[in-house]
Amino acid sequence: MRLDITKNCALTVARLLSFIGAAILLTAPATARDYRPALPASAQYSYNPANEVDVELVLAVDISQSMDTEEQEVQRAGYVSALTSQEFLDAIQVGPIGRVALTYMEWGGVDEHFIVAEWMVVQDAASASHFASKIAEAPLRQVQRTSIASALQKSVQLVENNQYIGLRRVIDISGDGPNNQGGSVTEMRDRMIASGVTINGLPLMMKSNKNTWQAMLNLDHYYEDCVIGGPGSFAIPVRSKEGFADAIRMKLVLEIAGLHLNDHRPVIQHASAREPVRCNLFD
């Protein structure tokens, strides 16, 4: 799955949507139902129109041991660049409310979750720059294991316990390896989807030519079969450090714009067209 990303994207809404539409043909389709469950009766919220947003988005970023310092720096810089890009800001304005709520979490093994940037409403260049600065200024961390299952569970908890009311709830999870701790990733994914979120993936395959196990695993297929799910879900693989920032920017634009995929488009390769990934191989 490859994306051809132009450097100079349109600044108008019409051309922005054309830019998104070209990319969406190459993303993986979702299969879950499109619904948002009612809030639990125990949740007590006082209505505040300032808390209404188009999207509640968790950026869940892998910092496991396989991510070296250089890759972590590239990853941080990619998110900072994407969050302050004009394409991202234009995508926000496409929404009916014109605001999104973001949080940035780094994760590793079970219960290893670090909130780098707390929930914040982003609606313009100033707020986007302020949010991105928290990511840029935070110290780098590194942990040993990779629990996608635990990261998904924590991400949904962050969504359910914030004060925002979003039209959509999205978990954006990136990683360079399979789930190897914390139980079945597919069982956790299905439970989290049932809570009303969409899970999108950013499989990092920058070492696929050097690392034999990653090349054999086909990490992009693993994410498609075992990690992503929910209405409009997709995964965008990153195959080079040079393409990291472009991939993140494209992913954020698609998530914020909230376009759904057409399952009948013939250019989409469904999982059934290849051998399914054994999702529990590393659990």
Per-residue pLDDT tens for 204-240? 988 766 655 555 568 999 999 999 999 999 999 998 8
All residue ranges of the chain with pLDDT < 50 are 1-17, 19-38, 41-43, 261, 263-269
Check: CB of residue 224 under 8 Å from CB of residue 178: no
Find the domain containing 95 and state its range: 13-30+51-262
Q: What is the pLDDT of residue 49?
A: 86
Query: How far apart, in whole angstroms, are the C-alpha atoms of residue 201 and residue 172?
Result: 6
> Residue 272 has what pLDDT?
56
Is residue 45 included in any domain, yes or no? no
The alpha carbon of 150 is separated from its chain's Cα centroid by a whole number of angstroms, namely 15
Instruction: Give pTM, 2 decimals.
Output: 0.80
CA distance 169 to 165: 9
Decide: 120 and 131 in contact? Cβ < 8 Å.
yes
For residue 91, report the phi and psi dihedrals to the nearest 5 degrees: -65, -35
Question: 155, 175 in Cβ contact below 8 A?
Answer: no
Answer yes or no: is 181 within a domain.
yes
What is the count of structural domains for the chain?
Answer: 1
Q: How far is the CA of 90 from the CAs of 1, 118, 129, 194, 249, in angstroms? A: 25, 23, 14, 31, 12
Task: Give the CATH number for residue 222.
Answer: 3.40.50.410
Instruction: Say if 6 falls within a structural domain.
Output: no
Is 8 part of any domain? Answer: no
Rounded CA separation 97/173 (Å): 25
Q: Is 2 a member of any domain?
A: no
- Is residue 277 a part of any domain in this protein? no
279 lies in some domain: no
